[in-house]
Structure 1
């Protein structure tokens, strides 16, 4: 007696349906790759623009330096006049502009993306002014100088950020922006009061904390900023993995497994980035506000922190070059130049009504 095993017969898909499924997979694969390729091209273009702006800031101006001479100076050779101008003036300003621009650009983009509001910039919600108020108070009232002033600036930024978060509660959005504007006005009042008590010898130092400037900063301060960014930027890249879900809102992000804690960590890193930038170069106006929207527009409406940082670096570099050489016998701080361009952008944004969600 023999047993016959009957195997189930599976129907093979029709050739036409299999081809359609393969075509659909190809289309989906291409749709996923296209934004990545565009982002890579955008980052490459921004890096080229940044290198060009850096070269123009270091090599051109009232005293031009050739590329061979610049290489020789970096190698340690002493060229009368040129070595001092490059190593003590042009190069530190350019390096600080790049580092501060990266910090402001990425920090501002984190604020705007996480809170889903283009007005939620550190300039608008008082984080930058909190750092400035703490720094000028430390200089004028406590008589501090050097790194303690920078530490006070970081503490001031963190204090304002925590206060804004506490006042806004769990609502965020427009309520957080309004709370930030109120605290920014309070910080501005503190700055004005302290400025009336400043010693005449400290006026120029205090003005730097009010407008923002990359001039006259020593290499140790630049090195401290670079060390801070070496820690903060990798941490930000790790925390930003949840950013696409965070953009969808707290409820949707929670449904996707992204808790409020991750968002708070990312916001804290954004505050620290802006704080260390202000501690090194002062509150360079509107860089954090401009970088995110510009990078988003260049990336076809998609958020990109890396491009925002590169855009911020280009803005500070170009703004410093314009402030130094656009007007004869007049050296404007970079914060004045960026403020002159950022204010009209803010008015345009308000006129267009692109201010985020409605108030609940």
Structure 2
């Protein structure tokens, strides 16, 4: 190869259009943009349909008109005060879980890696159930303090559980299968503690904790919207900035170091953002199962990329959770927690992943 070719790299990769803004460069991916934009439109329609269903039905066009600033007084009260907070909580929680799952699967390079499997949601659940059960039986938490204590306990429990998993899985770095196995073990311990707490609890506290453990958007108000919205505003830009390191991490630690990436720092930052998003989502709506596991893999196939896309995972995570809430509320004749519907969707997909991975290993 001539020295001229070595000094002057090609202007673009075949089949890809480069984009450069100042010192930031990227690749124009029209398929990814199209999938994301279509997903945003579907989220708006699903949210409007979810808001319109209830004892006082409102048509889709009327809901959109109220959201745009129109509608009469009763419609504005029902949409903006009674139903919008629940749906908006579902949108934000689904987006947070989608991004969290995309980050964990990309860092671990394993489609089985998600906050559900890695014990993050189990640790958050254990801490929240401890506050519900012990607070109610010992009288240490009551009234408004209990409402504040449960989300905060879930957030801290998820972070502590993730720290334990990361510390136990660390062996001069993080390997995907070891991370998953350690996460499953820590999650099993947390679930055992949760079961013990439910056994020793009073009937009322046990019933309340059981409802929370299924993951539900029932009774969500603006006080639940604000924390997860603030977390997304802060953490989503950080995730997108750190996401540039995911491309190098896909090639392995040695190659990433050769490209000048501080592997451990980048991986630790990505895991911390993923854990924070999952913990905040769990604190807001309970441990909604399988959204973080299923959505990134669906988006990866829709977009056709090498790793789960972050923005598309956020959009389709919101879509899945809002659509599941619509089915849980109105599609089965009785209102169910949204976590039951997502579990029905996600459990078969988890089995498919396990069978598919086992065939790949034995082949």
TM-score, length-scaled by structure 2? 0.85
After the TM superposition, which residues 12-161 of structure 1 pair with which residues of structure 2 at under 5 Å, given as runs?
A: 28=13, 30-32=15-17, 36-66=29-59, 67-68=61-62, 71-72=65-66, 75=69, 79-80=73-74, 82-143=75-136, 144=141, 145-161=146-162
What is the deviation of 1:25?
Answer: 5.9
Deviations along 1:121-158, one digit per CA (max 9) or x if unpaired, are 11111111110100110121134412222111111111
Specify the structure having the higher radius of gyration (Cα). Answer: 1
Deviations along 1:238-295, one digit per CA (max 9) or x if unpaired, are 2112111112222221111111111101110000000000000111000000111011
SS in 1 for 2:187: helix
Q: Could you say if the C-alpha distance between residues 161 and 27 of structure 1 is closer, same or farther in structure 2, counting changes exceeding 3 Å? A: closer
Q: Is the 1:320–1:334 Cα contact (8 Å) retained in structure 2? A: yes
What is the deviation of 1:60?
Answer: 3.5
What is the deviation of 1:207?
Answer: 2.3
CA distance in 1, matches of 2:67, 2:296: 36
What is the deviation of 1:203?
Answer: 4.0
Deviations along 1:288-347, one digit per CA (max 9) or x if unpaired, are 00111011001113331110111111110000000111112x111110000011000011
After the TM superposition, which residues 146-295 of structure 1 pair with which residues of structure 2 at under 5 Å, given as runs?
A: 146-170=147-171, 171-259=174-262, 260-295=264-299
Q: Is the 1:119–1:355 Cα contact (8 Å) retained in structure 2? A: no
CA distance in 1, matches of 2:234, 2:73: 36
What is the deviation of 1:29?
Answer: 5.6
List gaps (5 residues or longer) in structure 2: 19-26
Q: Is the 2:89–2:224 Cα contact (8 Å) retained in structure 1? A: no
Q: 1:318 matched to which residue of 2?
A: 323
How many residue pairs were aligned?
A: 336
Q: 2:22 matched to which residue of 1?
A: none
- Please, which moves more after superposition, 332-341 or 137-146? 137-146
Q: Is the 1:116–1:356 Cα contact (8 Å) retained in structure 2? A: no
What is the deviation of 1:75?
Answer: 4.7
Q: 1:301 matched to which residue of 2?
A: 305
List gaps (5 residues or longer) in structure 1: 1-12, 14-23
